[in-house]
Structure 1
């Protein structure tokens, strides 16, 4: 059975946030770098969504691209031919 599209999107966003956490040293460290608590980061993971205003700051501190964190807001631009 195929996964529900909404659940698939949440799983992809959780994976992106997990990658950001791994790259900086964990949920607590990501929260610290962003001026947020570890519980904020944990809640974002649980929901499968980061707040719109956090995509660029997370990208800056972790290197995970904003289009991976929030593709609904930052779609990948197609290369011009």
Structure 2
């Protein structure tokens, strides 16, 4: 859910309530205008990675980091891409250690 979808949904926080909630969680938002700019992507503005986490926490997950940063979320939070983690775990491209435990071969 995007910020705009969230703020337009019944029972959602208002912009002011969301800003206050984020501040209570330690995420400082300059003003309501900043949230409105993110809401409408004014001037291609998007929340910083840190504020994406704040939005996710403040809305109890209703707004996800993935939804706020659809073009780069996997670079910022690779742990959210479970498939990538499984691919890395199952990769057979690991290299054996160089040398041996006795220090021979150096």
Q: Please, what TM-score do these two structures have when normalized by structure 1?
A: 0.60
1:41 maps to 2:35? yes
Q: Which has the higher helix share?
A: 1
Cα root mean square deviation, aligned: 2.6
Q: What 5-or-longer segments of structure 1 have no aligned partner? A: 1-14
Provide the C-alpha distance between the structure 2 equivalents of 1:73 and 1:53, rounded to a whole number of angstroms.
14
Q: Please, what TM-score do these two structures have when normalized by structure 2?
A: 0.49
Rg bigger for which structure? 2
Name which of structure 1's ranges 21-30 and 58-67 shifts more when overlaid on structure 2: 21-30
1:25 maps to 2:13? yes
Deviation at 1:17, TM superposition (A): 0.9
Aligned length: 67
Q: What 5-or-longer segments of structure 2 have no aligned partner? A: 24-28, 75-79, 88-106
Name which of structure 1's ranges 22-31 and 65-74 shifts more when overlaid on structure 2: 22-31
